[in-house]
């Protein structure tokens, strides 16, 4: 299994703490002002101003042939308090349970969605929604949803598209590999940059849903505990 982590990193990025013992490739898009910062960490490195999902959209579009080498791809926020072993465990769970999309269970005050909170004693739960902070995708699922990454600067609303447009995807919360975030929601550097640029995440959310004729109300549902499936998400 070949795996990849893509991070849009600011000056306070925690991704260096993920690297000891890593078994995944790392692509870093640095949006700060220090030339070459984090270059030694990365298998692919770029320095580019911009927001997380539009940046990843452009990067993956330009490197589609390379993406084809990976079975699973994680797109974590840069404030993730995690380890290389946790990434490995998450990718292993995706492979074991044939998942298309996943998100680690969240601890603390890191989410507005109660069903994403980690449940002690659980391996994971099938759900109909995961959020944009730390999604993991199979190669095939990423190829399907990639177009959504350009739908809003903030990313707000695109996770609803992942659920609404691709209900066939096996989607899960991975309780066995809980994650915490060093910053509360909407307090990171990218969100601050959005505000400085005059952006409004809530307005973007409403605009995304309006363009795709989707309701503002999202009914988040658990669909049962993880069970093996027969299809191959990385195919």
| CA gap 11, 39 in Å, rounded | 13
pLDDT digits (tens, 9 = 90+) for 37-87: 999 999 999 999 999 999 999 999 999 999 999 999 999 999 999 999 999
Q: What mean pLDDT do residues 196-202 have? A: 69
Q: Do 166 and 159 form a contact (C-beta atoms < 8 A)?
A: no
How high is the pLDDT of residue 235? 53
| CA gap 8, 153 in Å, rounded | 13
Average model confidence (pLDDT) across the chain:
90
State CA 7 to chain mean position distance.
9
Q: Concatenated DSSP letters for 22-75?
A: --SEEEEEE-SSSTTTTGGG-SEEEE--S-HHHHHHHHHHHTHHHHTT-SEEE-
Q: Which of 49, 61, 52, 68 is CA-nearest to residue 6?
A: 52
Q: Concatenated DSSP letters for 145-193?
A: HGGGGGS-SS-TTHHHHHHHH-TTS-EEEEEEEEEEESS-TT-SHHHHH
Q: Do 226 and 97 form a contact (C-beta atoms < 8 A)?
A: yes
What is the pTM for the complete model shown?
A: 0.90
Q: Do 207 and 152 form a contact (C-beta atoms < 8 A)?
A: yes
How high is the pLDDT of residue 231? 59
φ/ψ of residue 157, rounded to 5: 100, -25
Q: Which CATH architecture has domain 3-225?
A: Alpha-Beta Complex (3.90)
pLDDT digits (tens, 9 = 90+) for 167-193: 999 999 999 999 998 876 555 555 555
User: Residue 197 pLDDT more than 60?
Assistant: no
């Amino acid at each position: 299994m070949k795996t990849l982590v893509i991070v849009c990193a600011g000056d306070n990025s925690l991704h260096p703490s993920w690297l000891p013992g890593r078994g995944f490739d790392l692509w870093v898009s640095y949006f700060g002002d220090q030339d070459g910062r984090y270059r030694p960490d990365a298998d692919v490195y770029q320095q580019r101003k911009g927001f997380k999902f539009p940046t990843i959209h452009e990067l993956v579009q330009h490197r589609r042939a390379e993406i084809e080498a990976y079975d699973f791809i994680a797109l974590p926020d840069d404030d993730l308090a995690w380890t290389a072993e946790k990434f490995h465990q998450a990718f292993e769970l995706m492979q074991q349970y044939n998942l298309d999309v996943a998100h680690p269970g969240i601890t603390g005050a890191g989410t507005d969605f109660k069903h994403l909170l980690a449940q002690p004693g659980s391996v994971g739960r099938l759900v109909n929604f995961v959020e944009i902070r730390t999604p993991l995708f199979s190669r095939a699922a990423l190829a399907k949803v990639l177009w959504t990454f350009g739908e809003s600067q903030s990313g707000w609303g695109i996770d609803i598209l992942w659920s609404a447009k691709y209900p066939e995807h096996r989607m899960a919360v991975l309780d066995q590999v809980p994650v915490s975030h060093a910053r509360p929601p909407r307090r990171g550097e990218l969100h601050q940059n959005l505000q400085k640029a005059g952006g409004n995440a809530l307005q973007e959310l409403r605009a995304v849903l309006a363009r795709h004729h989707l309701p503002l109300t999202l009914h988040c549902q658990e669909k049962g505990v993880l069970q093996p499936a027969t299809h191959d998400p990385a195919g």
